[in-house]
Amino acid sequence: MTEASSIETKRNMQPAAKLQNEENFRNNFRFDRQLPENLRFLETLSWNYFWSWKPEGTNLFREIDPRLWDECEQNPRLFLKRASELRLWQKALDTSYLERMQIFSENFEKYISAALENFKNISGVNPAAYFCAEYGIHNSLPIYSGGLGILAGDHLKSASDMNVPLVAVGLFYRYGYFRQKINHEGLQEEHYLDSFENELALEPIQDEESNLILISIHIRGREVFARAWLARIGRISLYLLDTNVEQNSEVDRLITGHLYGGDTETRIVQEKILGIGGVRLLRKLGVEPSIYHLNEGHSAFLTLELAREYLELNVNSTFDDAINFVRKKCVFTTHTPVSAGNDTFSPDAIEGCFDKNFISALKITKEELFALGRTNPEDDAEWFGMTPLALRLTRSANGVSEKHGEVSRDLWLEMFPEITKSEEVPITYVTNGIHAPTWIAPVFQTLYEKRIGKNWSEILPDETAWRAAIEKIPDAEIWKTHQLLKQLLVSFIRQKTFSAEIGSHNTINEHRNTNKLFSPDILTIGFARRVAAYKRWNLLLTDLERLVKMVDDVEKPVQFVFAGKAHPQDRSAKEILQNLMSFDENSQWQRRAVFLEDYDQEVARYLVQGVDVWLNVPRRPLEASGTSGQKVAMNGGLNLSILDGWWIEGFNGENGFSLGVLRDEDDTAIEKIDKDDAESLYKVLETEVVPTYYAKNADGLSSEWIRRMKNSLATLTPQFSSDRMLKDYIEKIYQAGK
């Protein structure tokens, strides 16, 4: 792939020429505003994403100027720069505010300075190193696209809360992931925003003389340099590599420009920066990890760099010796249940990316390198896959739910010629979880504080004690808390669609009268996820007449809120969206269905905290785990889902609803499966979900519904927290090696 063509594919992205202007701007821009003396703690706090998972921390910023806070997309660095002097001084004289700040600052100090725990071989001196191509820490740091990133962010937050010695490595994407707009015709349009790194809480990594620390990698026939930024995630350091430095050519400066935005050549180069550059950065920082966790295959080149280092130090050793050494240090998590979802590169691309010196330093031939990335090393036609490379060069591999472990063993059986039965394939599982403090709404946290105690989060891991504690909360309080969140969601929907109104066509994202949109008293179903074929967005629209009947019902109506992005190059996904938008019947659909643009963490928070029901209808067994339903469960919403991914483990018959049947993935035609599942979806909605929701007693409460809510809160909160997940990783994976 030539450089010219790699630039060409970035037509709707930021042209390289613009970089120079921005460079000038950035050099002239400095954050030298002085905050009033007694507000200086805000400056400290703005440099650590810890504030983002503490409601009191978030409030310290927001209440200075709530409207500006949202305008700045809840980015405290930008916010402090733009907050008016008057508001800052008003707060500087607000004693109740200052008291709360004092308490929070003491808690912050205590949190940050707590001692690290040792987990066998994992210690402060030899931490675990976590590698991932994306991180969803907070919406103001837009370097994630979806589930994988959110999971990585939650992993780091739990590691911080649990005092686990862990460092993380990723990439800083200057233009992040694309933003979504829906035009009149219901078609998705994409654009990119520029994140000025000095408006974010990113600290430049420098040496003692304040020179940037640079690492270099041989790519595209020349040395390419990368600098690093530090993001503080509580007690965890997340290092983000960035090729946007003056030592690089314009083209190379854009390597880390866009997340999943470039062509294959850009992608392989990005992965080289992440894997190989990441190891080199850790060396420069003097970090000697005891274990490397490859979260998805994007970072798998790091194994080759570790092998190269080993052979440089042990000149008499062979590549096989090096592999033995590397395998002991590396563990791998796969996230994809279909082979097409795994990154593969042509031999030409690999050859273009790895120069002769690197290959000969590994003491192998080009052909041997290619073979490392094939399921069948002998098959010259097979492309180089990051998953086969990772499976070969790590000592442990796992999927992200029990079912996904099983699917992965089938999928990769052919890599293990000595094994005949897929049960014996050495791939285990750790089921995904979510970071409870990030995702549980502040009002629920307050309710828990009041009813369970200030230490509610310490009770959480004890499933029996937690269950008993939830059961004791009066129905009316659970319901009221949920209704508050639903009311908040309704007003969020009204406001967001009001400002998004751009035309006159009747599509569900353009509403003339948004203050009549949605009602907090109507059963609300949320459906938000990537627009990909296997997620089956169309399933709900299979029988429009039946759907409209539910929506229009006078006594027991239903309303729907949708959100999700389609891959920019995926035409059929965009058509699915358009189809949903242009649904234009003479019904209440226009008032009771809405599509929220630009699904991100912020939109997700309102949705998962405010809906009654979260719908998920993937084609089995393609949902590796899913985590959005876990967020809903922790906020009192009920899942209505196909039994796939995490829901197979989570559903107990009473903590939500299931649909479809658990059948073997035999050769039943897809059309038949879709038809059966659609029928099941309508039936469960009509005969279970709707009647249960509206079966209100004299107090206006549906006791059966609330019983399910409590069951869901009680059973799913401990089971699917990322603290549980991280504990599993430590016990089953990190510590299992020698």
Ligand X SMILES: *Cc1c(COP(=O)(O)O)cnc(C)c1O
Return d(Cα 253, Cα 243) in angstroms, integer: 5
Q: Which is nearer to ligand X, 253 or 605 (CB)?
A: 605
Q: Which is nearer to ligand X, 157 or 529 (CB)?
A: 529
The span of 242-250, 253-261, 376-384, 597-605 binding ligand X (CB under 6 A) equals 597-605
Please tell me whether residue 234 binds ligand X under the rule CB under 6 A.
no
Q: How far is the CB of 48 from ligand X (least distance, A)?
A: 21
x-marked contacts with ligand X along 473-512 as a string, rule CB under 6 A: ----------------------------------------
The span of 216-224, 341-349, 571-579, 596-604 binding ligand X (CB under 6 A) equals 596-604
Q: How far is the CB of 557 from ligand X (least distance, A)?
A: 26
Give yes or no for a contact between 650 and 706, defined as CB atoms under 8 angstroms apart: no
Q: How far is the CB of 599 from ligand X (least distance, A)?
A: 6
Which positions ≥6 away from 320 have C-beta within 8 Å? none
Which positions ≥6 away from 388 have C-beta within 8 Å? 372, 373, 374, 375, 412, 415
Q: Which is nearer to ligand X, 323 or 485 (CB)?
A: 485
Return d(Cα 143, Cα 229) in angstroms, integer: 13
Is 689 strand, coil or helix? helix
Which positions ≥6 away from 3 have C-beta within 8 Å? 220, 251
x-marked contacts with ligand X along 630-659 as a string, rule CB under 6 A: -x----------------------------
Is 131 strand, coil or helix? strand
Q: Which of residues 150-169 bind ligand X (CB under 6 A)?
A: 150
Q: Which is nearer to ligand X, 345 or 606 (CB)?
A: 606
Q: Which is nearer to ligand X, 438 or 481 (CB)?
A: 438
The span of 145-153, 165-173, 251-259, 547-555 binding ligand X (CB under 6 A) equals 145-153
* Bridge-based pairing state of the strands 166-171 and 128-131: parallel
E strand map for 304-445: 330-333, 344-345, 384-385, 396-399, 428-429
Burial (CB count within 10 angstroms: exposed 0-12, middle 13-18, buried 19+), residue 181: middle
For the CA atoms of 91, 440, 142, 534, what is the dihedral angle to 10 degrees? -160
Q: Which is nearer to ligand X, 150 or 323 (CB)?
A: 150
**Peptide bond before 66: cis, by omega within 30 degrees of 0?**
no
> Maximum Cα–Cα distance for the chain, whole Å?
82
Q: Which of residues 410-449 bind ligand X (CB under 6 A)?
A: none
Which positions ≥6 away from 351 have C-beta within 8 Å? 366
Structure-token pair, residue 10 = 């970035």
Burial (CB count within 10 angstroms: exposed 0-12, middle 13-18, buried 19+), residue 187: middle
Give yes or no for a contact between 579 and 507, defined as CB atoms under 8 angstroms apart: no
Identified binder of ligand X from the candidate list 626, 636, 637, 718, rule CB under 6 A: 626
Q: How far is the CB of 82 from ligand X (least distance, A)?
A: 25
Q: Which is nearer to ligand X, 511 or 529 (CB)?
A: 529
The span of 144-152, 309-317, 417-425, 518-526 binding ligand X (CB under 6 A) equals 144-152
Which positions ≥6 away from 179 have C-beta within 8 Å? 190, 191, 192, 193, 598
The span of 186-194, 466-474, 594-602, 669-677 binding ligand X (CB under 6 A) equals 594-602
Q: Which is nearer to ligand X, 147 or 352 (CB)?
A: 147
Q: Which is nearer to ligand X, 161 or 600 (CB)?
A: 600
Burial (CB count within 10 angstroms: exposed 0-12, middle 13-18, buried 19+), residue 17: exposed
Q: Integer distance in angstroms from the first to the last C-alpha of the chain?
A: 42
Identified binder of ligand X from the candidate list 57, 142, 147, 656, rule CB under 6 A: 147
Return d(Cα 364, Cα 208) in angstroms, integer: 39
Q: How far is the CB of 607 from ligand X (least distance, A)?
A: 9
The candidate with the shortest Cα–Cα distance to 267, out of 390, 153, 179, 386, is 386
Q: Which is nearer to ligand X, 457 or 722 (CB)?
A: 722
Q: How far is the CB of 166 from ligand X (least distance, A)?
A: 21
Q: Which of residues 53-112 bind ligand X (CB under 6 A)?
A: none
Long-range contacts from 23-30, C-beta under 8 angstroms, 24+ separation: 23/246, 25/196, 26/196, 26/197, 26/198, 29/196, 29/198, 30/198
Quickly list DSSP for 640-685.
EEES-THHHHH--SSSEEEES------S--HHHHHHHHHHHHHHHI
In the chain, DSSP finds a helix count (H) and a strand count (E) of 34, 20
Q: How far is the CB of 608 from ligand X (least distance, A)?
A: 7
Q: How far is the CB of 87 from ligand X (least distance, A)?
A: 30
Please tell me whether residue 627 binds ligand X under the rule CB under 6 A.
yes
Q: Which is nearer to ligand X, 195 or 243 (CB)?
A: 195
x-marked contacts with ligand X along 512-541 as a string, rule CB under 6 A: -----------------x------------
The span of 156-164, 216-224, 241-249, 593-601 binding ligand X (CB under 6 A) equals 593-601
Return d(Cα 607, Cα 485) in angstroms, integer: 9
Q: How far is the CB of 148 from ligand X (least distance, A)?
A: 8
Please tell me whether residue 142 binds ligand X under the rule CB under 6 A.
no
Identified binder of ligand X from the candidate list 252, 296, 305, 600, rule CB under 6 A: 600
Please tell me whether residue 628 binds ligand X under the rule CB under 6 A.
yes
Return d(Cα 573, Cα 567) in angstroms, integer: 7
Structure-token pair, residue 638 = 């009920």
Q: What is the DSSP letter of 733?
A: I
The span of 9-17, 70-78, 146-154, 715-723 binding ligand X (CB under 6 A) equals 146-154
Return d(Cα 685, Cα 682) in angstroms, integer: 5
Q: How far is the CB of 651 from ligand X (least distance, A)?
A: 15
Please tell me whether residue 601 binds ligand X under the rule CB under 6 A.
yes
Identified binder of ligand X from the candidate list 53, 131, 310, 599, rule CB under 6 A: 599
* Residues touching ligand X, count (CB under 6 A): 12
Q: How far is the CB of 435 from ligand X (least distance, A)?
A: 11
Q: Which is nearer to ligand X, 100 or 181 (CB)?
A: 181
Return d(Cα 406, Cα 334) in angstroms, integer: 12
The span of 47-55, 236-244, 247-255, 626-634 binding ligand X (CB under 6 A) equals 626-634
Q: How far is the CB of 555 from ligand X (least distance, A)?
A: 32
Q: Which is nearer to ligand X, 146 or 433 (CB)?
A: 146
Binding site for ligand X (CB under 6 A): 146-147, 150, 529, 599-601, 604, 626-628, 631
